[in-house]
Each structure stands twice: as C-alpha cells, then as structure tokens.
C-alpha cells in the first residue's frame, strides 16, 4: 500500500509541471516559464541552460515557420464599430491586412489587394519593394510597384517590451489607406501590433478584437508576454 501511495504522489508531482514551457530569449538562453496562472502571469522564470555555448542551439528571436503562407488576410471592421472610437462621424479608416513575411514578398498578392504600405515588425526581413530596390529585387517587380515601409525589428520573446513600439506603429498606420502588418510567421508580433491598434482606434476590448482578427486569420496568437502587455494596455485604455 505504501508503495502504491508513493507512486501516486510521484505522478501528481509530475502533473504539476504540465503547464510549464520552455522559451528561448533573445540572447539564446533557455527559460522554463510557468504559465499556469489564470491571468497569464509569467512567474517562476528559471534559467535552465545557456543554449549556444554548450548545445549549439540558435536563437532566432522569432517563431520559425516553414509552411508556405503567402496570402494576406484583411480584417473586416463591422459597421457598428465605425460609429465608435476615434472615427466617429468619419467612415474612412485604413484597411488592415495581416500576414507573414512570405505574403510581404508576394507581389501579385499585394497588387491584387492594392496594398501600398507595409509595417514590417519581423526580425531581419528585407523590404522587397522599396524604391531603391524595386527594379532589382528577387520578386521580378517589372511594374515598379513601390511600397511605403516602416521597419521595426522586434523579437518574438516573452521578455520583449513590444508596448514601447505602439505609438510609432500607430502613427504610421494612421497615415495610410491600406496596410499589411507582418512579422516572420504572421502569428505573434504582427497580431500584437494589430490588436493594440484596433483597441486604441475602435475602443473595443482585447477579446473582441482578437475574435475579429481570428475570423480572418485563425492562427494569430500573441505570445504570453505580449498577451500580458495587451491586457495591461486594455486597462490603460479603460476598456474593461
């Protein structure tokens, strides 16, 4: 009987670690992050191994995604949102698209959707259709299709302070009529910027904005650190 109880207790102890996850920070170090809190607090961060020094791991600073994903996804703003927020009395607003780095390099897709502005928040991703390289880039831009860019290198890391970049991104978006917001995978950083902009622009709570974005691109998922910052931003905007 004692042996049975001992085995049960061991299994219970092991189950307590089911929600732990391993993340890699910008400097290549790996951390165990406990995500069991209901409010997504990051607690008990524990350095477990410096990666590149003894394991040969590479820290990319973004989600590595090898699946083809070269389409843009427009977030359709409901009509009743247009009478709220900062566009009351004016139905003009920037058309919002989200996608991956592959979409940002797909000239046909950009032309089809008449996208002339791109907010690049990935890491190490070239701007393919700037005037300086519009004739020579690898995408065979024979029509001299020139795009206006804002490029901010961001890391997809739970410790990265993405909120510091909100205002610069918002100012750029506000000057455009249609825009693609992309990072490397089009899942975490780009969606965080898009969600923050929508919360600020339309004065809608985070979960409502997230549900709307996922209607267009179901895979969007800010990392836990970004989600926490979005929740704090939501409180700052007094949306809940």
For residue range 16-73, list pLDDT tens digits in order.
444 444 454 444 445 544 444 344 444 444 443 343 344 344 444 555 556 678 999 9
Beta bridge partners of 47: 31
Looking at 94, 183, 209, 219, which residue is catalytic? 183
Owning domain of residue 132: 73-236
Q: Are residues 198 and 93 in the same domain?
A: yes
Q: Are residues 44 and 77 in the same domain?
A: no
Q: Are residues 191 and 228 in the same domain?
A: yes
Output the pLDDT for position 239. Answer: 86
Segment 197-217 shows an average pLDDT of: 97
Active site residue 183: yes
Q: Give the HSE-up count for residue 58: Cα atoms under 13 Å, Cβ half-sphere.
A: 4
Indicate whether 68 belongs to any domain.
no
**What is the pLDDT confidence band of residue 88, given thresholds at 50, 70 and 90?**
very low
Structural domains in the chain (count)? 2
State the first-to-last Cα distance of the chain, in angstroms, to the nearest integer.
52
Of 41, 37, 84, nearest in space to 208 by CA = 84
């Amino acid at each position: 009987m004692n042996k049975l109880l001992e085995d049960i207790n061991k299994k219970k102890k092991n189950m307590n670690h089911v929600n732990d996850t391993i993340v890699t920070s910008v400097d290549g170090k790996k951390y165990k992050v406990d995500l069991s809190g209901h409010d997504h607090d990051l607690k008990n961060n524990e350095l477990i191994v410096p990666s590149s020094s003894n394991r040969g791991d590479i820290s990319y600073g973004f989600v590595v995604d090898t699946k083809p994903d070269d389409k843009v996804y427009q977030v359709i703003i409901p009509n009743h949102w247009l009478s709220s927020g900062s566009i009351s009395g004016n139905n003009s607003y920037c058309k919002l698209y989200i996608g991956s780095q592959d979409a940002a390099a797909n000239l046909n897709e950009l032309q089809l959707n008449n996208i002339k502005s791109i907010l690049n928040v990935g890491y190490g991703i070239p701007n393919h259709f700037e005037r300086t390289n519009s004739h020579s880039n690898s995408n065979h831009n024979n029509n001299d299709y020139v795009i206006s860019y804002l490029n901010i290198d961001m890391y997809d890391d739970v410790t990265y302070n993405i909120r510091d970049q909100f205002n610069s991104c918002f100012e750029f978006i506000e000057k455009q009529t249609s825009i693609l917001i992309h990072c490397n995978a089009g899942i975490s950083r780009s969606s965080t910027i898009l969600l923050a902009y929508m919360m600020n622009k339309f004065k809608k709570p985070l979960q409502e904005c997230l549900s709307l974005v996922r209607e267009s691109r179901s895979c969007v998922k800010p990392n836990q650190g970004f989600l926490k910052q979005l929740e704090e931003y939501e409180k700052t905007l007094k949306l809940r």
